[in-house]
Amino acid sequence: MVREGKVFKYKDNVDTDVIIPARYLNSSDPKELASHCMEDIDKDFTKSVKDGDIIVAGRNFGCGSSREHAPIAIKESGISCVIATSFARIFYRNSINIGLPILECEEASREIEAGDEVRVDFSSGTITDITSGKVYHAEPFPPFMQDLINAGGLASYMKENY
Amino acid sequence: MNMTEKILAHGAHLESVHPGQLIMADLDMVLGNDITSPVAIREFPKFGKQHVFDKNKVALVPDHFVPNKDIKAAEQCACVRAFAKAEEIKNYFEVGRMGIEHALLPEKGLVTAGDVVIGADSHTCTYGALGAFSTGVGSTDMACGMATGKAWFKVPETIKVNLTGKLKKYVTGKDVILHLIGMIGVDGALYKSLEFTGPGVAALSMDDRFTISNMAIEAGGKAGIFLVDEKTLQYLKEAGAAEPKIFSADEDAEYSSQVDIDLSTIELTVSYPHLPENTHLVKDSSSIKIDQVVIGSCTNGRISDIRAAAEILKGRKVADGVRCIIIPATQKIWKEAMDEGLFDIFIDAGAVVSTPTCGPCLGGYMGILAEGERCVSTTNRNFVGRMGHVKSEVYLASPYTAAASAVTGYITEPAALKEVR
C-alpha cells in the first residue's frame, strides 16, 4: 500500500493530552474526537488536514495516557501514517491494534520538514520526501506484529488463533 | 532471570523468557474506567466470545468523570454500568463504593504478588509495588483481555534501580520518583521495565512504593516492579489478596542498565511545566506564586498522603487567593480521614474536600485552571493544558510540598513554614 500527503511536523514528546485533550473524553465518537485533534499545540491542524496527510515527529510520540482515543482521533482526521524517531509504548500498541500505520525512522523524523510532500510505501517501509528528493527506510515490524497487521487488527488475529 | 522475566514466564507458562521475545500471557486481572471501557465494550463483540472470560477477573471502575460531570459522561458511565450488569462483573464499583482505580484495586485485595495485570489506564503500573507485572494498555487490548483472558507482550529489557539509604524528614516516594524521572527523562525507560530493589526498599512504606510504581509510565516504563518483602506480604494479607506468588531476581539476572539512588540524598523535588522530567528542588522554587493546590489522585491520594497534608495544614490557613482541593482516593480512605478528624483540620484551614474522582488531574472537572493560573499538584502529569487552559501551569510535587505551598501561596518547603503557635 502506498499513501501520499502533506507533512505536519511536531517535536519530541508529543503527549496524548495534546493529541486529544481529556476534556473531550466524555465522548468516544471518532468524528468528534477528530474535530479536536492536536488543537492545544496546533490550532490549524483540523482546518487544514486532508486525507492521506502525514505526521512527522521526534522522540516518544504519544507519551502519557493510555487513551486509544488518541490514535483514533489521528486516524479519523485522515492521517495516513505517523513517522517518528520513537513512540511511547502504549500508543505504539494502540496504533497497531486499531490499524493506524506508524513508522520509526530517526533520519526521516529529523530531516523531513513541515509542508513537504511525502510518499510512504508500507510494504517496504520506504519513505520518499518528494519535496527534497530524499529517500529513507523505516525499521520493519517484527513478524508477530506484521501478522497482527495482516490479520486486520487484534480482534481478527485473536479470533483466528485463540 | 530478573523479576519481570520470571513473572511473565509464569504468566505465559514458559520455562524462561528473554527480552525481545513476544509472548501471549494469561491475565489475572483486566481493568477499565469510564473513559476507556466504553471503547472496549464497543470492541468486545469483535473478539467472537459470548461473555467475559472470567467475571471475577474483570474490574470496572468509573472514576475519571464521576460523579457524572455532564450528560456525555453520564452516558459513558451508563454504558459501563449496563455492561457490568449484563456480564455480572463482580468488581464493578459504583459511586458510593468506588475510588480511584489504582488506589482501589490494591485496597480491595484484587491484585497479588506475581500477577499479570493489564488495565486500560496508563497508571496501571501502580501494582508493581505489590510485586506484580502490571501495565497500561488501550481499549482494544482491554476488550481482548476481557474476551480471552490473554494479552500479547514483548518481554521488555529491564533497568535495575538499586535503592540504598533512608529518606529524610518530609521526603517521600513522590520526591524519589520525580528525582528518578529527572535523571533518566520521560523516555528513559521507554519499552522497558523498572525494577526497584536494594536495601533501601525496606524503609519505604507501601504508600511510597505505590507512588513510585505509579509514575514508572512517566519515564516511559512498561512496568515498575518492587521486590516483595515482609511489608508487601503484610499489606496483601490485610487486604485479603490471593496467595502471593513471590518471584525474586536471580543472582545472575540480566539488566540493560543500573541506576543507583541513595535515598538519604534526595531532596524535596518539584517538576515544572510541561514535562515530569523538568525537575527542580523545592527550595530553589520559592519565588513561584500559585493559585491552586490539588492533593489527591492515583499517585498521592492515599491515607498517608492525606495525613501528610493534615500535618502541614493543622493550625494553619490556606493563603488568600489560593484554592486548596483535597481528594481522598477511595471511600475507605475518605472515612479514615474523616474518623481521624483530618477534615476538621482541612476545613478550619480553608481547604475543600472532594469525593473520590480523577477530576482535576486530567482537566476533567473539580478544579480546572484559567489562563495564566498555576497549580501545585500531587498528580502525575504537567503536560500543556493538562489541568485546564493551554496557558495554565501544573507543578508536580508531594503532598507535604503541596500543602506547605497552599499555606504561603508560593512553592514552599514544609520546613520553611513558621511554627504554629
With beta carbons under 8 A apart, name residues in chain A contacting B24: 162
Least CB-CB distance to A90: which of B47, B138, B143?
B138
- Percent of chain A surpassing pLDDT 90: 83
- Supply the DSSP symbol for B359: G
With beta carbons under 8 A apart, name residues in chain B contacting A144: 22, 152
Instruction: Give the residue from A115, A139, A114 showing the smallest Cα distance to A127.
Output: A139
Burial B316-332 (b: 16+ CB within 10 A, else e): bebbeebbbbbbbbbbb
- Supply the DSSP symbol for B23: E
The type of residue at B197 is T
Q: Alpha-carbon distance B216 to B210, whole Å?
A: 10
Interface A-B: count of C-beta contacts within 8 A:
138
Instruction: Give the residue from B44, B65, B192 showing the smallest Cα distance to B128.
Output: B192
Grid coordinates representing B219?
Answer: 519515564
Q: List residues of A whose CB lies inside 8 A of any B CB.
A: 13, 15, 17-18, 21-23, 25-28, 40-41, 59-60, 63-69, 71-72, 86, 88-90, 93-94, 97-98, 142, 144, 153-156, 158-159, 162
- Judged by CB atoms closer than 8 Å, whether chains meet at A26 and B22 is answered as no
- Judged by CB atoms closer than 8 Å, whether chains meet at B384 and A88 is answered as no
* ipTM here: 0.94
Residue B267, exposed/middle/buried by CB under 10 A (0-12, 13-18, 19+)? middle
- Supply the DSSP symbol for A141: P
* Per-residue confidence (pLDDT) for residue A15, from 0 to 100: 97
- Judged by CB atoms closer than 8 Å, whether chains meet at A22 and B137 is answered as no
* Per-residue confidence (pLDDT) for residue A5, from 0 to 100: 98
* Per-residue confidence (pLDDT) for residue A117, from 0 to 100: 98
How far does the CA of residue A7 sit from the closest CA of chain B (Å)? 23
Quick: pLDDT tens for A30-89.
Answer: 999 999 999 999 999 999 999 999 999 999 999 999 999 999 999 999 999 999 999 999
Q: Alpha-carbon distance B206 to B226, whole Å?
A: 10
With beta carbons under 8 A apart, name residues in chain B contacting A21: 363, 385
The type of residue at B318 is V
- Supply the DSSP symbol for B56: T
In the beta sheet, which residues pair with residue B369? B388
- Judged by CB atoms closer than 8 Å, whether chains meet at B144 and A154 is answered as yes
* Per-residue confidence (pLDDT) for residue A140, from 0 to 100: 79
Q: Is the pLDDT of residue A1 over 90?
A: no
Q: CA angle at residue A78 from A76 to A80, to 5 degrees?
A: 110
**Cell 523479576 found at:** B3
Q: Region A112-133: what's the mean pLDDT?
A: 95
Backbone phi and psi for residue B407, each to the nearest 5 degrees, phi listed first: -70, -40
- Judged by CB atoms closer than 8 Å, whether chains meet at A89 and B222 is answered as yes
Grid coordinates representing B31?
Answer: 481493568
With beta carbons under 8 A apart, name residues in chain A contacting B42: 28
Strands B58-61 and B29-33, bridge-based pairing: parallel
- Judged by CB atoms closer than 8 Å, whether chains meet at B363 and A23 is answered as yes
* Per-residue confidence (pLDDT) for residue B61, from 0 to 100: 98
Pick the residue from chain A with its C-alpha nearest to B187. Answer: A60
Between the CA of residue B15 and those of A144, B6, B135, what are the distances in Å?
Answer: 21, 9, 22
With beta carbons under 8 A apart, name residues in chain A contacting B143: 155
How far does the CA of residue B175 sit from the closest CA of chain A (Å)? 19
Backbone phi and psi for residue B385, each to the nearest 5 degrees, phi listed first: 70, 10
Least CB-CB distance to A17: which of B124, B140, B383?
B383
Pick the residue from chain A with its C-alpha nearest to B66. Answer: A26
Grid coordinates representing B52?
Answer: 467475559
* Per-residue confidence (pLDDT) for residue A142, from 0 to 100: 81
Mutate one of A69, A90, A146 to test the B interface: name it (highest B CB count within 10 A). A90
Quick: pLDDT tens for B400-421.
Answer: 999 999 999 999 999 999 988 6
With beta carbons under 8 A apart, name residues in chain A contacting B140: 68, 94, 97-98, 153-155
3-state secondary structure of A157: helix
Does the pTM exceed 0.95?
A: yes
- Judged by CB atoms closer than 8 Å, whether chains meet at B190 and A89 is answered as yes
Mean per-residue pLDDT of chain A: 94
* Per-residue confidence (pLDDT) for residue A145, from 0 to 100: 82
Q: Alpha-carbon distance A76 to A144, whole Å?
A: 26
- Judged by CB atoms closer than 8 Å, whether chains meet at B136 and A90 is answered as yes
Instruction: Judge contact between B193 and B155, C-beta under 8 A.
Output: no
- Judged by CB atoms closer than 8 Å, whether chains meet at A154 and B69 is answered as no
**Cell 506484529 found at:** A145
Least CB-CB distance to A66: which of B76, B136, B152?
B136
* Per-residue confidence (pLDDT) for residue B305, from 0 to 100: 98
Question: Count of CB atoms within 10 A of residue A29's CB?
Answer: 13
Instruction: Give the residue from B238, B233, B242 showing the smallest Cα distance to B202.
Output: B233
How far does the CA of residue A108 sit from the closest CA of chain B (Å)? 20
Q: CA angle at residue B410 from B404 to B411, to 5 degrees?
A: 65
How far does the CA of residue B316 sit from the closest CA of chain A (Å)? 34
**Cell 502529569 found at:** B381
Instruction: Judge contact between A87 and A39, C-beta under 8 A.
Output: no
Q: Is the pLDDT of residue A151 over 90?
A: no
Low-confidence ranges of chain B (pLDDT < 70): 421
- Supply the DSSP symbol for B330: B
With beta carbons under 8 A apart, name residues in chain A contacting B139: 68, 94
How far does the CA of residue B185 sit from the closest CA of chain A (Å)? 11
Instruction: Give the residue from B41, B216, B239, B245 showing the smallest Cα distance to B135.
Output: B216
Least CB-CB distance to B36: which of A67, A93, A142?
A67
* Per-residue confidence (pLDDT) for residue B420, from 0 to 100: 81
